[in-house]
Structures are given as structure tokens and as C-alpha cells.
Amino acid sequence: MVFKVEPKAKQVGPDTVRVKLRICASGVDTGTCPDTGNSENDANDDESNVVLLGMRVPEGSDLPRNVVGDQLEFRRSRQFGGVLNDEAPTPIDFEWIGYRSSPVVTRREDAATVKLEIGLPQGFRARRFKFRPTVGYFTPDPEHPADSPIVCGEALFDRDVSDEGGARTCIDSPTPDETAKHLVLTLD
């Protein structure tokens, strides 16, 4: 799973930002998705995956419990957010919020749009809102059902298939260097 285009954000209220994400099932041979992500793995047609979404935001930001897109629905996952906070680049005064979808059957031509409305932290006075979304996946199997805890470890940026956590890449997009940097929206 990768971002089809760079995530965009706009201010939609005095204290609210909307982030728009276009996610696609990775596969360069289809012409619909730009790359194979950090996993360098084409999506397998008709394979069931749990899509993982991470949002690094200023501490105290107000994010929804559930996010509904045109093809995907996510629910907040404290467990996955905790893993990202422990293992992914996190500057001071920022935190990761994790989401996971229900299992969805993916095909190489699949794409989805997701919009998140984020409330700015109380008393936020900065002129720039910094954020970083990530997308990854987990492939359930009989030993690792869809509701299994997400274990990243070596699979944070690379595809890993192991007894510890099944097939997964916790951050398939963007690259590690891009993940370490923020996207920035100048506020009114």
C-alpha cells in the first residue's frame, strides 16, 4: 500500500485541518500506482489485507476515532499507535496516532481516498501545522488473524514474513527519509 500522490492538507476552520490521502495497492505493472513502496512488493490480486494508517501530529491534536473513506474504513488503534511511537521517528512534542482497517480484498488497480479532520491542539499558536501520514499493511493468515496485534520490528519499513507477526510492512509509504520529515501547512 502506498500513497498515489503526496498527501494534501488544508485549513477548513479556525482550529481544524483536513488531510486528504489517496492510497493505492502497490503494483507498478498496472500503471495505476506509482511504486511498490518500501516493501518492494506488488499487491497480490484478491489477497486480504488490513491497511495500516499512521498520523504523526502535534501532541494534543484531536483526531477522530473512526475514519471513513470512499473505499476504506479505519478505526483508531492504540496498540498500533504505541508501536509507531516506540519505533518510528518522533520529534519532541509530536505523537503518532494509529489506525487499522478491517480486512479488505485488494487488487492491483485498487485506490481509495480518505479524509481526516484534525482539531488543532488547545492553545495552538504556531503559524504552521506539521504532520506526517504513513500507510502500510498486514496480511492476516490462520496463525495471525485480522485482529492480531501489529508487530513492526524489522517490518517497520521492510516487508517481513515471520512467525512473530505474519506478513506486514508497517510503513510501506513514504520512504524512511520522507517519514522522518514533516509535511507542512501554513495556517491563516
Interval 46-87: pLDDT, tens: 678 899 999 999 999 999 999 988 888 999 999 999 999 999
Pick left, alpha or beta for residue 125 (phi over 0 → left; psi -120 to 50 → alpha; otherwise beta). Answer: alpha
3-state DSSP call for residue 151? coil
Beta-carbon contacts of 65 under 8 Å, excluding residues fewer than 6 positions away, are 75, 76
d(CA 11, CA 176): 27
Structural domain count, the chain: 1
- Sequence-separated contacts (24+) of 158-161 with Cβ below 8 Å: 158/38, 158/39, 159/38, 159/39, 159/40, 159/41
Residue 30 pLDDT exceeds 60:
no
CATH number of 167's domain: 2.60.40
pLDDT band of residue 144 (cuts 50, 70, 90) is confident
Using CA atoms, how far residue 78 sits from 52, 96, 99, 109, 154, in Å, is 12, 10, 8, 30, 20
Residues in the chain: 188
Closest to 177 measured CA to CA, from 114, 134, 138: 134
pLDDT at site 7 = 94
Interval 6-15: pLDDT, tens: 999 999 999 9
d(CA 150, CA 168): 9
Residue 28 pLDDT exceeds 60:
no
The three three-digit cell numbers of residue 135, written as one number: 500507510
Residue 155 DSSP one-character state: G
3-state DSSP call for residue 47? strand
Report strand pairing: 16-24 vs 111-119: antiparallel
**Domain that includes residue 159, residue range:** 2-186
Mean pLDDT in residue range 158-165: 72
User: The whole model's pTM is what?
Assistant: 0.91
Mean pLDDT in residue range 28-50: 71
Q: Specify whether the CB–CB gap between 171 and 134 falls below 8 A.
A: yes
Query: What's the CA angle centered on 9, arms 8 and 10, to 5 degrees?
Result: 135
